[in-house]
Amino acid sequence: MTPGEEIDAYIAFLTDWRGAMLARFREIFHEADPEVVEEWKWRGSPVWEHDGIIAVGMAFTTSVKLGFLYGASLPDPQAIFNNELAGNQRRAIKLGEGDTVDEEALKAIIRAAVLHNTAKRATSST
């Protein structure tokens, strides 16, 4: 299966609110960055990439989490990062059933992550 098909199957397997939330996050990634690449890594995690990893999606029993690899380097003026705040690299958005996220703020973070990855790649290739 392709990574996209793996993600489709994972979302279909999650027949409750978690699948719906991951499906919406997936749409938001494509709205924010039409060139985003979907990958399936680490034995069962949807990953969104553009010149490197942007974020990893994870579903748990009572939550869904988007982990941004370089989240600590990204602007978050709406303070939507609410998890993994102590480190100097990662940041995450962790939501439970009925929680919502500011979609425009999430799109801004995704776009900032793409710019971060693109700049990092340009620097490393010179």
- Joined together, the tokens standing for residue 117 give 């990855």
Q: How far apart are CA 88 and CA 114, in angstroms?
A: 19
Pairing label, strands 37-41, 45-49: antiparallel
What are the φ/ψ torsions at residue 35 (nearest 5 degrees)?
-95, 10
Quick one: tokens of 41? 């890594």
Closest CA relative to residue 23, chosen from 37, 40, 11, 41: 11
Range of the domain at 7: 3-124
Average pLDDT over residues 19-41: 97
- Looking at the 3D structure of the chain, how many domains does it have? 1
Q: Quick one: pLDDT at residue 122?
A: 79
Which pLDDT score is estimated for 126? 58
Summarised one tens digit per residue, pLDDT across range 87-123 is 899 999 999 999 999 999 999 999 999 999 999 877 7
Three-class DSSP category at 106: helix
